[in-house]
Amino acid sequence: MGKKMWDGRFQKETDQAANDYNTSLPFDCRMYEQDILGSLTHCYMLEKQGIISKEDSASIEKGLISICNDIKAGELCFDSDAEDIHMFIEAELTNRIGEAGKRLHTGRSRNDQVALDLRLYLLDEICEIRVLIMNLYHTLIYKAMDHLTTVMPGYTHLQRAQPITLAHHLCAYIQMLQRDVTRLDDCKERMRFSPLGSGALAGTTYPLDREFVAAKLNFRGPMINSLDGVSDRDYAIELAGVLSILMMHLSRFSEEIILWSSQEFAFVELDDAYSTGSSIMPQKKNPDIAELTRGKTGRVYGDQIALLVVMKGLPLAYNKDMQEDKEAIFDAIDTVKAALVPFEGMIETMTIRADNMKEAASGGFTNATDLADYLVRKGLPFRSAHEVSGKLVKYCIDGKMSLSDLSLDEFRSFSPLIQEDVYAAISLLTCINNRTLIGGPAPDTVLAALNVAKEFA
């Protein structure tokens, strides 16, 4: 086992099992670029402040860049004995450039180093996730634009309720995704503060320029309390919460895709490239992408809960428990990114079975509310109109008819206020087209909403 950089006061080597238990390198190695970027910036600041020489700074810079290039090229493997990515890179640096490498950690602790690396890593991942959400967002917009007049039933309690359009339905998810993106953006802005310079917990006596480091790393500024800088992970918990909400939205949409692709609904047919078959039943076409997304949502929820539980009882400042932050937030990020790509492809390629959607809207008395509204316009109080419409629905159910199948005499037997114009009033297109209020399903209203949605970036 290699020599530890902190073992000056220790008389015995770390037990191998304890070392294996203690190491975080297998999962925090993914932060090597952020660790090297942070170290380079710290190095430049140390030179600027006259804490290390220009010669040492140049050696450190050259060494760190060579390490980064070698890792990327697969020419440098991570040492399994190293505690973490920070110690691995520092040890490798010292091995390459000698004494100058030992000066890099001046005025810095692993506590503020790991806090910096994690923030930098999460900021990069937020940008990638945002792109993936926006890809899905624009796919939904294009899909909705093609179905401004595709009639379908809207549901409450999974019962057919009122006629809407597919575009109107998809617009609901467009709005949800827009809020998911703004939550990501808000989370990112709160995350953009540099902990570097917090030291282990109480800063340092070296004349560091924390503002310089923060600006170089594109942070809004340094964190103003050193204890807070190293001891909180609320930014990771917040991101996990944002990702949980995003996955909740994808899960709800997945549930609808699963229902819609069933033979009982038959509203959509999923493309073969985004479906699977059965090992025993040759007729099956399974919506596995949607089902997996629905299932993996619970996994992301679990990651957020894990982070909350890790942090809930920790005294200030750093505690080793906090090493558990990375696997949870990394898993949440990986799960979300893995879901978004095939989910977007599934939506883009699915075939809409518009005739089945319209038939479902026609057969579920989705125009009953509009019949009541028709009677209100004829002078009947709404509660009375509601009762008349309900009785007509019951009459149709008993007779296995729809409202539009009734004769005028049958209508008038329930209310003399009903005239010939009732048929136009309760047609599905009329029901939809008359709902022109902001947020409604009228095609022109939805089109206006989609045009606004296109401007969101």
Contact 114, 84 (CB under 8 A): yes
> What pLDDT is stored for residue 422 in this prediction?
96
Q: Phi and psi for 419 in degrees, rounded to 5?
A: -120, 180
Q: Is 315 exposed, middle or buried (0-12, 13-18, 19+ CB in 10 A)?
A: exposed
Task: Point out the catalytic residue in the list 53, 80, 262, 278.
Answer: 278
Instruction: Give me the pLDDT at residue 282, please.
Output: 79
Angle between helices 443-454 and 110-145 (to 10 degrees): 150
What does the alpha-carbon distance between residue 191 and residue 344 come to, in Å, rounded to a whole number? Answer: 28
What pLDDT score does 2 carry? 56
Residues 6+ apart with CB under 8 A from 360: 152, 153, 160, 265, 267
Q: Where are the alpha helices (DSSP H) in 156-287?
A: 166-191, 210-216, 226-231, 234-260
In the chain, the largest separation of any two C-alpha atoms, in whole Å, equals: 101
Residue 150's pLDDT is what?
A: 98
Token code pair at residue 25: 């390198």
Pairing of the two strands 268-269 and 351-352: antiparallel
**Alpha-carbon dihedral sign for residues 51, 53, 57, 63:** negative
Residues whose CB is less than 8 angstroms from the CB of residue 260 and which lie 6 or more positions away in sequence, other chains included: 266, 267, 268
Look at residues 303, 420, 330, 426 and name the one whose alpha carbon lies nearest to residue 372: 426
The per-residue b/e assignment along 141-171, b for 16 or more CB within 10 angstroms, e otherwise, is bebbeebbebbbbbbeeeebbbbbbbbbbbb
Indicate where the chain has its CATH 1.20.200.10 domain(s): 111-359
How far apart, in whole angstroms, are the C-alpha atoms of residue 247 and residue 219? 28
Give the residue range(s) of CATH 1.10.275.10 domains in the chain: 15-106
Single pTM value for the model: 0.93
> CATH 1.10.40.30: which residues of the chain?
362-454
Do residues 390 and 368 lie in contact, with contact meaning Cβ atoms separated by under 8 Å? yes
> What residue type is 2 in one-letter code?
G
Q: Is beta strand 159-165 parallel, antiparallel or unpaired with respect to 351-352? A: unpaired
DSSP structure class, residue 275: -
Chain center to CA of 105: 36
Q: Are 112 and 124 in contact (CB under 8 A)?
A: no
157 is catalytic: yes
Q: What is the pLDDT of residue 7?
A: 61
111-359 CATH: 1.20.200.10
CB atoms within 10 A of CB 221: 12
Residues 6+ positions from 410 with CB-CB distance below 8 Å: 395
Contacts 24+ apart (CB under 8 A), 189-192: 189/220, 190/235, 190/238, 191/119, 191/122, 191/123, 191/126, 191/235, 191/238, 191/239, 192/119, 192/123, 192/218, 192/219, 192/220
DSSP 381-449: -HHHHHHHHHHHHHHHHHHT--GGGS-HHHHHTT-TT--TTHHHHTSHHHHHHT--STTS--HHHHHHH
Q: How far is CA 347 from the centre of its chain?
A: 17
Q: Both tokens of residue 126?
A: 């937020």
Residue 281's pLDDT is 86
Token pair in block for residue 264? 């009982």
- Of 188, 195, 192, give the one whose Cα is nearest residue 42: 195
CATH topology of domain 362-454: Ribonucleotide Reductase Protein R1; domain 1 (1.10.40)
List the structure tokens of 300: 């992301």
Residue 81: the pLDDT is 83
| Class of the CATH domain delimited by 15-106 | mainly alpha
Question: Could you tell me the mean pLDDT of each successive run of 10 residues in the chain, 457 residues long?
Answer: 58 69 86 98 98 98 98 94 92 97 96 97 98 98 98 96 97 98 98 97 97 98 97 97 98 98 97 89 90 98 98 94 95 98 98 97 92 95 96 94 94 95 95 96 98 96
